[in-house]
Amino acid sequence: MPSPETTARSLILASTSPYRRELLERLRLPFSVAAPGVDETPAPGEAPRDLALRLALAKARAVSQAHPGALVIGSDQVATVDGAPIGKPGGFQQALAQLRAMRGRTVAFHTAVAVDDGHRPASAVVTTRCMLRELSDRALRAYLHAERPYDTAGSAKAEALGIALMERIESDDPTALIGLPLIALTRLLAGFGMDPLDALEEPRA
């Protein structure tokens, strides 16, 4: 049976991202979503990994303050090539330029996740490294027309056809690349007494 703490506390995802919502649904925990409304402008000289962590914590804290007593999840991701951040392309030409610059190279995706109960936030950062294939412009253009990944940092959706762009992916947490590291998140939630497995009911004999 679920513990009283697990059933009594509400869970909120501080994100309007459909990708993060779909990932969190895999844990089978009831949750709601709320827009964090956090300024995502990098601080001067801020390292990409530090930016992702700061924003994940800020998103969780912003929604936590508006919903006292809830357990709030915040997450953010920053992609980099040779340490320089790359953002969401927003359109075809920008996406094509990104993929041209990335082919045959390694892109690092720093994905941060934070859980805040209003008192003691906990967090983790997972770095995923993706080596892209040496592909022709024709292949890159065909991919972009087929998938239109213009709202995705790095212009590639690895959870879909974008996996065909990859030579290799290295990560300790396979869903981190999509935007929410579920292994790290499960560990953080368990620390607050909300383990997804504890919340499952055993079938009656």
The phi and psi torsions of 36 (rounded to 5 degrees) equal: -75, -30
Question: Considering 76, 116, 117, 195, which one is annotated as catalytic?
Answer: 76
Residue written as token pair 């992916």? 169
CA-nearest of 56, 55, 107, 112 to 83 is 107
H helices, E strands: number in the chain = 6, 7
Q: Phi, psi (5° rounding) for residue 158? A: -65, -20
- Amino acid at site 188: L
Comparing CA positions, the residue from 120, 124, 102 lying closest to residue 112 is 124
Asked about 137 being catalytic, the answer comes back as no
Strand partners, 72: 12, 116
Task: Quote the CA–CA distance of 14 and 66 in Å, as a whole number.
Answer: 11
- So which residues are the catalytic ones? 76
